[in-house]
C-alpha cells in the first residue's frame, strides 16, 4: 500500500503550491511562467532551460542587507 502524502498549502489565485511562489517579486508572473513551462513539458515541446532558469532567478529577490551597527568606544 502506498503511503499517503501530506497536502501542501496552495495559492488560491493560481493553484500552485505557495512554496513555489514564495520570495517572488511578481507572484502572478512567476506562476504564469511555471504553468507555461509545465504545459510545454507535458506536450513534449522543447524547453529552453537557460531561459527558464534566468527568468526564475530574475523573479526571486534578495533581501536588503542591513549594516551591522558598530559598538561605541568609551563613555
For residue 30, give its domain range: 18-59
Q: Which grid coordinates belong to 21?
A: 511562489
Model pLDDT, residue 68 = 72
Model pLDDT, residue 22 = 87
1 in any annotated domain: no
Angle separating helix axes 27-43 and 49-59, nearest 10 degrees: 160
What is the DSSP-derived secondary structure letter of residue 24?
B
Count of domains forming the chain:
1
Model pLDDT, residue 75 = 58
Q: Which residues contact 49 (CB under 8 A, 6 or more apart)?
A: none
pTM over 0.75: no
38 in any annotated domain: yes
Show the low-confidence residues of the chain (pLDDT under 50). none
70 in any annotated domain: no
Amino acid at each position: 500500500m502506498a503511503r499517503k502524502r501530506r497536502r501542501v498549502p496552495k495559492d488560491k489565485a493560481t493553484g500552485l503550491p505557495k512554496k513555489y511562489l514564495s520570495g517572488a517579486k511578481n507572484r502572478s508572473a512567476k506562476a504564469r511562467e511555471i504553468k507555461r513551462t509545465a504545459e510545454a513539458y507535458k506536450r513534449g515541446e522543447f524547453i529552453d532551460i537557460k531561459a527558464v532558469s534566468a527568468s526564475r532567478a530574475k523573479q526571486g529577490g534578495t533581501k536588503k542587507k542591513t549594516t551591522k551597527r558598530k559598538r561605541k568606544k568609551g563613555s
